[in-house]
Amino acid sequence: MDNPNDDFIDVGYHYQLTLNNIIEHAARLHPKEYIVYRGKQRETYKEVFERCKRLSNALEGLDVKEGTKVIEFEWNSHRHLEMYFAIPSMGGILHLGNPLLTPEQIAYIINHAGDEVLIVNKDFLPLIDGIKDKIKTVKHFILITDDGEIPETRLDPVYEYEDLLKKSSSEYRYPDLDENTVATMCYTTGTTGDPKGCWFTHRALSIHSIIWGGYASGYGLTPAPYGATLCIVPMFHVHGWCIPYMSTLFGIRQLMIGRTDPTIVLEMIKNERKEDPDRPITIFGVASVLRLLIYHPEIEKYRRYLGNVRYIVGGTAFPRGLAERCIELGIDPYSGWGMTETCPVMGLTLPKSHMRDWPDEKILDFKLRSGWAAPFEEQRVVDAEGRDVPRDNKTIGEIVLRSPWCTMGYYKDLKKSKDLWKDGWLHTGDLALMDEEENPLIVDRDKDVVKSGGEWISTLTLEDVLSKYPKVSEVAVIGVPHKRYEERPVSIIVPKNEFKDEMTEDELRRYLEGYVEDGKILKWWIPERFIFIDEIPKTSVGKFDKKALRPRYKDLLSNSK
C-alpha cells in the first residue's frame, strides 16, 4: 500500500512568515506612502526599504551574522523603523534597549543577552558612556544623531549611523530565513529580581501584526489606505505594541514623534490635518501621556484638529475621567492590554456587531474594560485550580492565555520560564473579572494587589472612581501593611493645581461613600488614608511606580488597629 502522505506531492516553495517580507511588500506595493518624523522629515516606504538594505550591509561589515544580537536605544523614528526590519531580516536579533532602565539594569541586559553591536541615540550617550566599563560583550558602537556630529565619548570603536548608511550599498538580498528564527528580544522588569529576556520569532511578530492589524483595521481603528498611526508608546518598549509592524504591513502612514513631547504630538496632528483634513489618526499610548495631551495648556488651540482621532490606552487602565475628557474633545477612546511577554497585544475593546444600538454610556463601559481576544488567541480568567471563573463580572481570577505570538520562555532562565508557562498556559499574574462578552476587566496588575483581610481589593476600580473627582489630577492606590487586616488601601492623590490647598481626606471619603451606595465599590474598600502629594513617581514606561511608593508609606498605618 502507498504511504498516503507521499500522495500529497509537495514540491512548492514554502513561503515563510518573516519580517523582510513585510517591508519588501510595503516598498513594492505602497512605495509612495511615508513616515513623518517629528513633523519635519518624510521617508517613503521605498526609502525605508532602501535604507534597511544599506543598514544591513553596514552591519554585515561589523560582523553581524545570523544570530548576532544588536541592542539599540532610540526614540520613535524612521531610523528605529529601519532597525526593526533590517536587523531581523538579515538573521540578526534586534534587542530593544529600554533607556529608562537603571544603568545597572542596562549593563545587566547587555551582558546577559551578549549583545555585540550597540546603537544609541546621542540623547542616551551619557548613560552608555557611564556604564562603558561594565559592558563586556559589545564590539562596535553606532551613534544616532540628527545633526551628524559625534560628541566626546569613551565608546570605541564608534561610528555615525548616517555616515555608515551613506557608505553602504542599497543592494542586499535578504536570506530565506525559517520563520521560527528568533527576531527580537525585550527585557521586562518584574517586581523583584533581574530583568527577564522575552524573545520573539519572525513568525510570532508576523502573525501578531497580521491578526491585530487586520482586526484593528477591519474594526475601523487603523483603516487602510487613508489611516495614520501615531505611536506614542516608545518603540523601545515591546515593539511599540507592534504598531510600526502593523502599519507597515497595511502600507499606512506613520507619524513618529521622536522624544515624547505632548506639544509635538499636537503639532503633528495639526500638520497632518492641514494636509489631509479627514484622515483618521489612531494614537497608541499610556494614560499618563494622554493626560498631558488633553489637559495641555493650549488644548483649545488644537481642539478643532481632534475630530477623527482615536486614542488607545494600553499598559494601564483607561480612567473614566480621562475618557470622558477625550469624548468632550472629540477623541474616541479605546482600551487595549498586553504585556512584554505577549508581544504585546492580547485584547482591544472593539465594540461588536450586536452593540450597535447600545446607549453611549454602555458602549463606553465596554470600551474602558481591558479588551477581548483576537482569533488564534485564547484568554481565560481562572481560579487557583485553573478552572474558568463564571462570566459574572464579579469573581476575580487570573488571566491565562495562549497564542502564536507569546514568548516561549525567558532567555537563559528555565525556572522562571516554567513558572510563566505552567500547564501550557501563559500565566499573566493579572487579576481580572470576566463578563459575558469575554471582555475581561483587569482589576490588578503585576501583583499590585491589595489583599485586605484575605480578600482582594481592586485598586484599579478605586483609582478609576477617584480619577473622576473633579479636583483630582492623578491618583494611585497602594496596599500598606496593617496589623489587623494584613494590608489596607491608601490613596495617593495629586490635586489639580487650582485645588492644591483645599482638598480634604473627608471630602474624598464622602465622595467614595456615594459609590458604595451605588454598589460600585464595597464599603471596606474605602482607603484608610488619602495622602496629597505633588507628583506620583512613574516607571520607565510611564506607569505609576507603586514599587517606589510602597516603601515610602510602609509605616503609615503601623499604629492602626
Considering the complex, what minimum distance in angstroms separates the CB of residue 428 from a second copy? 13
Length of the chain: 561
Q: Which of 337, 425, 469, 515 binds a second copy (CB under 8 A)?
A: 425
Number of amino acids touching a second copy (CB under 8 A): 78
Residue 407 makes contact with a second copy by CB under 8 A: yes
Residue 352 makes contact with a second copy by CB under 8 A: yes
What is the distance between the alpha carbons of residues 399 and 127, in angstroms, rounded to a whole number? 37
Residue 139 makes contact with a second copy by CB under 8 A: no
Segment 64 to 93, residues that bind a second copy, using CB under 8 A: 67
Residue 220 makes contact with a second copy by CB under 8 A: yes
Task: Give how far Cα 83 sits from Cα of 32, 342, 438, Å.
Answer: 20, 21, 37
* Residue nearer to a second copy on the CB measure, 69 or 546: 69
Residues 491 and 466 sit within 8 Å (Cβ to Cβ):
yes
Residue 8 makes contact with a second copy by CB under 8 A: yes
Segment 25 to 44, residues that bind a second copy, using CB under 8 A: 25, 28-30, 32-33
Q: Which of 270, 296, 402, 550 binds a second copy (CB under 8 A)?
A: 402
Give me the residues paired with residue 401 across strands.
Answer: 379, 426
Q: Which of 301, 376, 514, 523 binds a second copy (CB under 8 A)?
A: 376
Residue 438 makes contact with a second copy by CB under 8 A: yes
* Residue nearer to a second copy on the CB measure, 106 or 252: 252
Grid coordinates in use for 515?
Answer: 459609590
Q: Helix or strand or coil: residue 2? A: coil
Residue 15 makes contact with a second copy by CB under 8 A: yes
What is the distance between the alpha carbons of residues 266 and 328, in angstroms, rounded to a whole number? 16
Which of the stretches 418-426, 504-512, 520-528, 529-537 binds a second copy when contact is defined by CB under 8 A?
418-426
Active-site residue, 188 included: yes
* Residue nearer to a second copy on the CB measure, 13 or 157: 13
Q: Which of 18, 188, 201, 316 is catalytic?
A: 188
Segment 232 to 291, residues that bind a second copy, using CB under 8 A: 249-253
Which of the stretches 46-54, 56-64, 370-378, 488-496 binds a second copy when contact is defined by CB under 8 A?
370-378
Residue 99 CB coordination number (10 Å):
18
Q: Which of 451, 471, 538, 547 is catalytic?
A: 451
Active-site residue, 451 included: yes
* Residue nearer to a second copy on the CB measure, 48 or 450: 48
Q: Which of 44, 456, 528, 538 is catalytic?
A: 456
Helix (H) or strand (E) holding 412: none
- Range 499-534 burial, b when 16+ CB lie within 10 A, else e: eeeebeeeebeebbeebeeeeebeeebbbbbbbbee
What is the CB-side half-sphere exposure of residue 373 using CA atoms within 13 A? Answer: 18
What is the distance between the alpha carbons of residues 80 and 129, in angstroms, rounded to a whole number? 21
Active-site residue, 362 included: no
* Residue nearer to a second copy on the CB measure, 272 or 444: 272
What is the distance between the alpha carbons of residues 344 and 312, in angstroms, rounded to a whole number? 14
Q: Where are the beta strands (DSSP E) in 101-176?
A: 117-121, 140-144, 158-160
* Residue nearer to a second copy on the CB measure, 86 or 526: 86
Grid coordinates in use for 173?
Answer: 538580498
Q: Indicate which residues carry an active-site annotation.
A: 188, 341, 451, 456
